[in-house]
Structure 1
């Protein structure tokens, strides 16, 4: 390569650089003067995306070729490397210039753009320096210079890639690269919101107005913030704070309160995809519901509270415990739960439902307490029991089956504490299994205050919950392990959503970013720097519990001491919220719907504040005993009453929800699997078992001992039936039947294999069709078939059933709602 060409190029580059650096006011002048509209600047600026790919590709390729030349600087690749670096350097500089022109002519601003600019200028300077070092190294052949040149080359290649990444963030959104990673899977697959527009048609109460504002801001956050927030500002428009929303952008105001048809925002979101003015210009357009919501909001005057949130606009549950006086006994009711329910029914004009029969009740308590279907022998014994208090006695008996109880409730806690046997975190040893500690804690019925203490101030065996998942590579600030701990503790133990406030001040609650970081700081080895929307603020976090009245944390203490202080302060009886959260979760697990719903939003209004407060206080007064709480619920009249069905989960979370009784529930993945294993054939073998407790002592009659599904790693079969992946906290499962479930149950190999092997056993054990039918019904449905069912079975099975016919018959019984639901 001619040296004079390189020297001339470097001189030209120096002159251009000095020109830009010496004219610091030129940018502002260009943006405001008439000359800034000259078409050539805009045209050259728009060449930036074309030119910018040259340095990214060429310099990185040069770095790759250099790896093949490490042993021989004068290798056959040298001429190609020279050419790539020269062209890459020229295009890097042109990219920086054209990119600068593009930003100024298009009026784009924002923190990501600023960073992209700085990296772009820095990369162009590095490229020129690289070219200079290459010339020197080539001329002198000095080993020292060659080493410096190579270090510069690899560093420049990295800088070019990083600059390109932020350029991609500008065009595709700042999470374009990271949104597909596992830890962002929840955010990257945001479903279109279900919005109850009808609820906003009448005059807005303060609560309804705040809910409307929250939903509007959620729509803006999901669809608009990539281009119109503090991170990136296109067209001088920001939509993340009140003053900017109403100020508008470069073309003036975007909304006129009270006049949606005259608002530019509404016009643009209703344009067709591909129109030059449509918004969002990238990605999916807003759904019809979202468009209607924004129009309705503007029609209502576009209300927006001053600041991030007005505390008076959100319902905030009391922190302190409250022990209301029990209503007096009446109507032959003695269980305290029933006294509160009876009072609620009287206040709302509701009637008690009838009490379920013995077989239904027995099946219900077996599934709810130990997760299994009672055997025909167990049912026969229960029906023969003449003790008028047999239901209470059998509940106690099931609760005493510590191992079976632990195997069932392990699933509940595995979901909540996002504990599993495989997953992303295990790939990099960034996740810790707490199964042994958890199982033994449940088996021993460890008092809940002690249980929480050991989660917050953990031993080596219980540390997995607050350690979080250490994802591969760099994660966003809101997913660092300390913030994961804050979010998970808030969600599971306190019924509190801190995820929004982990990135910015929440607009759906009063929680502020600084409060989330102060709480996360308790779990940190060193003081955390606060990042707002992924941008470091330079401000260091304080160290505090979310509620100061619960006590202080010594910010100067080490992590171990801070965790000890947190554990002691958080579990004290004064923290009524923690115990309301727990009893609400257990209530939902057994009754199908929480007293507060969703169970992770404990600031929502309960259908009975008195029942919730009394249960929490009673729980504390009686030694934090979860089994006693389950026993109290399972022996109540309301638990023994007929269940109700709902055709939509939306009705369970509606604001006008009225409690009338237990909600009918679908068997969990684990309950269904264990039932199939016990009745048909084991679905899982010893090779599938990831945790092996001491021998279970189940009384259930089974073909052979089988592996409980709770001890099995997640798989296609369990996923299809609703088991979550547990990379994040899961405190509620979707109980609606799904297409995936239907496909797995009809075409999946797991169930099909069990049916094939199970049919062989059933054929060997029962030669007579009538006896075979009776036994299948007794084991699966806890009853004998009706004459009509027996007639259908005989037609399906024939006088002497073959294996294939038995297989089909078993499959049909397993798909019955009567088998799959807890009535």
Structure 2
């Protein structure tokens, strides 16, 4: 074979290849800047995507056959291997030539392209060596170069594979392959923006302007950076920094401030999927809200301040604790919470809402403290209780039902600490369950400072929170476990969003990438290299807490020592932010809306700074006792007052929100499930219980003898009712009804099965319609039915109720707002 090609032809081919490798560079250096590339170079460059597949397939196949020939060089595969090496080597060199021509003529640049180009050139060089050694072996009939040939072959296959990976990233995006790997899709999840366009319609204040800019940049980051950032620059357009955004791309400016209709950016994002000019060209198109946001931003003049100006506009909450002096008692108020609320009401001209009835209060504290509805016997006992302070007494008794309390609050902490019974990582030991530690901590009412210490400097049972999830396959740099720990600790314990600052300097706060990595370094076994927008910078991270006032972390210490230092420094009383965050979370659980909203953004302005500061300081001074805090809120007059309803969640997040009392809210998935199990029929079987802290017996210390929803794995029913996927931190659930929830409650198999079985029991025990209706109302709503409700029941079920009719009637009662809402 080599006799036909000849020595001189091989060397002339290599010289010809080197000449062509140099041509694009030579052309760029000597041609006038405004001239377009010679048409032939452009044409050949566009053949690169077609030609490039040859060396990948041929060289990999040759390497595979070579493995089978390791013991016998002159195996039957040798002719095939030689042919594959010649074709693969030549096509690798030609691919490199065409790739350089493509890069120089199409105006694409960026860090990913640079890596693709560099590894491609190395691979072309290795291919040349491969051909050279193959020639020497065939010419000399000597096997002295066989080992070298094989080494070069395997290096070339590695090189061509890496080159192909970077090429695929350029063409389809960096997560084109990894995003479809089972269990890996969630690692790439990007939080959906909660865009309130109405808040930007009026004249923009400096604060609103910065919020608008932050949301615009988030849209760019989530949708445009794959092709238009420092990592990759298509069409000479970058959208990651101000100067590049307004400079535009190869076709001129893409933004005309004040005129969305003249802005090329707006035209392109509104094109239909599949149009050759639509942007983003790859992946999902922008949704209507994102498009409207960009149009509004441009209409407002496309504001984008310089970095220096950006520093002064974000509100930053005080770190240190503060203990404001309590207002003087007035209007018969004694609970400190009521004194602060009364002061707020006076300042804003708000009247105190009326006190709720005993029935509403009892149902409220049962659901808020232990997650259950009271039985009719408990309700009647409460009504007959004549003690003047019976509400406080019953509240404390509920808090002393340790197992019921722990089971209910397990849901809250499972959501926040990303803990579950099944899911990504548990089978492969890429994730650790903390349920046993968490349940026992709640059952014994572990002081919150100790609770946090054991999360941050964990034992084997509590390590799952900071260990995070080790995703299978390739993940973003910002999703490595050390950065997960930094993000999750920041969010849950400090009410701080570090997710943006884990990829680049934050758009919504002053936090910098280097600060996030320094915090993440505390959780690392070795020093982390900082990656900006997924590209390694070569700079190693420092090691420190986010606030230097809280103390230092030894840079050279072991991971266990760093975690111990972090735990001690973070829980100290001087960290007022940590204790404001937890009292704000508990307040929201009890009152329906935080003093600060969202609860994960504690730099936002509270509706009462004094109440928040006082609660946090009082919490620290009284032993970090969460049950005491719950009792303090539950005993207040404002907690015992009538609730307020809101049409949309946006009203609760509005900047002009005024506190008027408890927010009416829907039962959680677990509360609703347990209520159905109490009233109708158990929804979950004993074998579905994933964690069993006690046996289901009257002696267990729990008041129920069925499997509670908090202890079972997530399923379609619970998901429809709002239980989140716990692969990301979730600290708030949507209280508004959804279409999915309506469909599940109307047609779901689980609820329907429970209604069928429950109707049989009700039919057997209550053959009379009036008795049946009265019993159902007492058990579900803790009241007797009104006469008009009895009339409806008689019409539906007649005088002799049958199973099917009872089933329908039970279903109708379960859907009543009075059953589904906490009033």
Alignment TM-score > 0.5, same fold? yes
Q: What's the counterpart of residue 186 of structure 2?
A: 185
Q: How far off its partner does 1:822 sit?
A: 1.2
Q: What TM-score, normalized by structure 2, do the two folds share?
A: 0.93
Aligned equivalents of 2:208, 2:43: Cα separation in 1: 49
The alignment covers a number of residue pairs equal to 822
How has the CA–CA distance of structure 1 residues 432 and 288 changed in structure 2, closer, same or farther, with 3 Å as cutoff? Answer: closer
Query: Which deviates more from structure 2 when the two are superposed, residues 293-302 or residues 684-693?
Result: 293-302
8 Å CA contact 1:375, 1:701 repeated in 2: no
Residue 236 of structure 1: SS of its match in structure 2? coil
8 Å CA contact 2:504, 2:533 repeated in 1: yes
Q: How far off its partner does 1:96 sit?
A: 1.5
Residue 424 of structure 1: SS of its match in structure 2? coil
Q: What's the counterpart of residue 120 of structure 2?
A: 120
Q: How far off its partner does 1:648 sit?
A: 1.1
Q: How far off its partner does 1:118 sit?
A: 1.4
Aligned equivalents of 1:108, 1:90: Cα separation in 2: 25
Q: What's the counterpart of residue 822 of structure 1?
A: 822
Aligned equivalents of 2:801, 2:513: Cα separation in 1: 67
Q: What's the counterpart of residue 802 of structure 1?
A: 802
Q: How far off its partner does 1:426 sit?
A: 0.9
Q: How far off its partner does 1:555 sit?
A: 0.8
Q: What's the counterpart of residue 753 of structure 1?
A: 753
Equivalent runs, 1:295-310 vs 2, <5 Å: 295-307=295-307, 310=310
How has the CA–CA distance of structure 1 residues 703 and 360 changed in structure 2, closer, same or farther, with 3 Å as cutoff? Answer: closer
Aligned equivalents of 1:138, 1:446: Cα separation in 2: 77
Q: How far off its partner does 1:517 sit?
A: 0.6
8 Å CA contact 1:10, 1:128 repeated in 2: no
Q: What TM-score, normalized by structure 1, do the two folds share?
A: 0.93
User: How far does the alpha carbon of each residue in 1:402-444 deviate from its partner, in whole angstroms, 9 at most, with x for none?
Assistant: 1110010011111111111111111320111111111111111
Aligned equivalents of 2:786, 2:226: Cα separation in 1: 62
Aligned equivalents of 1:403, 1:457: Cα separation in 2: 26
Aligned equivalents of 1:138, 1:680: Cα separation in 2: 84
Aligned equivalents of 1:669, 1:803: Cα separation in 2: 26
Aligned equivalents of 1:32, 1:272: Cα separation in 2: 38
Q: What's the counterpart of residue 438 of structure 2?
A: 438
Structure 2: 5+ residue stretches without partners: none
Residue 178 of structure 2: SS of its match in structure 1? coil
Q: What's the counterpart of residue 605 of structure 1?
A: 605
Equivalent runs, 1:539-558 vs 2, <5 Å: 539-558=539-558
Query: Which deviates more from structure 2 when the two are superposed, residues 694-703 or residues 705-714?
Result: 694-703
Q: How far off its partner does 1:478 sit?
A: 0.7
Q: What's the counterpart of residue 595 of structure 1?
A: 595
User: How far does the alpha carbon of each residue in 1:416-474 deviate from its partner, in whole angstroms, 9 at most, with x for none?
Assistant: 11111111111320111111111111111111011111111111111111111111133
Aligned equivalents of 2:145, 2:691: Cα separation in 1: 58
Q: What's the counterpart of residue 91 of structure 1?
A: 91
User: How far does the alpha carbon of each residue in 1:561-593 deviate from its partner, in whole angstroms, 9 at most, with x for none?
Assistant: 111111111111111100000011011111111
8 Å CA contact 1:681, 1:758 repeated in 2: yes
Equivalent runs, 1:461-472 vs 2, <5 Å: 461-472=461-472
Aligned equivalents of 1:445, 1:496: Cα separation in 2: 25
RMSD, matched Cα: 2.9
Q: What's the counterpart of residue 163 of structure 2?
A: 163
User: How far does the alpha carbon of each residue in 1:81-109 deviate from its partner, in whole angstroms, 9 at most, with x for none?
Assistant: 55444433333222211111111101111
Q: What's the counterpart of residue 223 of structure 2?
A: 223
Aligned equivalents of 1:502, 1:624: Cα separation in 2: 31
Q: How far off its partner does 1:117 sit?
A: 0.8
How has the CA–CA distance of structure 1 residues 704 and 315 changed in structure 2, closer, same or farther, with 3 Å as cutoff? Answer: closer
8 Å CA contact 2:108, 2:234 repeated in 1: yes
Q: What's the counterpart of residue 493 of structure 1?
A: 493
Q: How far off its partner does 1:714 sit?
A: 1.5
Q: What's the counterpart of residue 574 of structure 2?
A: 574
Aligned equivalents of 2:704, 2:199: Cα separation in 1: 55
Aligned equivalents of 1:653, 1:597: Cα separation in 2: 6
8 Å CA contact 1:238, 1:245 repeated in 2: yes
Aligned equivalents of 1:3, 1:817: Cα separation in 2: 89
Structure 1: 5+ residue stretches without partners: none
8 Å CA contact 1:678, 1:702 repeated in 2: no
Equivalent runs, 1:608-757 vs 2, <5 Å: 608-695=608-695, 705-757=705-757
Query: Which deviates more from structure 2 when the two are superposed, residues 271-280 or residues 320-329?
Result: 271-280
Query: Which deviates more from structure 2 when the two are superposed, residues 775-784 or residues 445-454?
Result: 775-784
Aligned equivalents of 1:808, 1:9: Cα separation in 2: 88
Aligned equivalents of 1:290, 1:91: Cα separation in 2: 44
Aligned equivalents of 2:145, 2:803: Cα separation in 1: 80
Query: Which deviates more from structure 2 when the two are superposed, residues 349-358 or residues 176-185?
Result: 176-185
Q: What's the counterpart of residue 349 of structure 1?
A: 349
How has the CA–CA distance of structure 1 residues 89 and 34 changed in structure 2, closer, same or farther, with 3 Å as cutoff? Answer: farther
Q: What's the counterpart of residue 359 of structure 2?
A: 359
Q: What's the counterpart of residue 172 of structure 2?
A: 172
Residue 638 of structure 2: SS of its match in structure 1? helix
How has the CA–CA distance of structure 1 residues 454 and 696 changed in structure 2, closer, same or farther, with 3 Å as cutoff? Answer: farther
Aligned equivalents of 1:788, 1:55: Cα separation in 2: 82
Q: How far off its partner does 1:538 sit?
A: 1.1
Aligned equivalents of 2:242, 2:318: Cα separation in 1: 29
How has the CA–CA distance of structure 1 residues 619 and 159 changed in structure 2, closer, same or farther, with 3 Å as cutoff? Answer: same
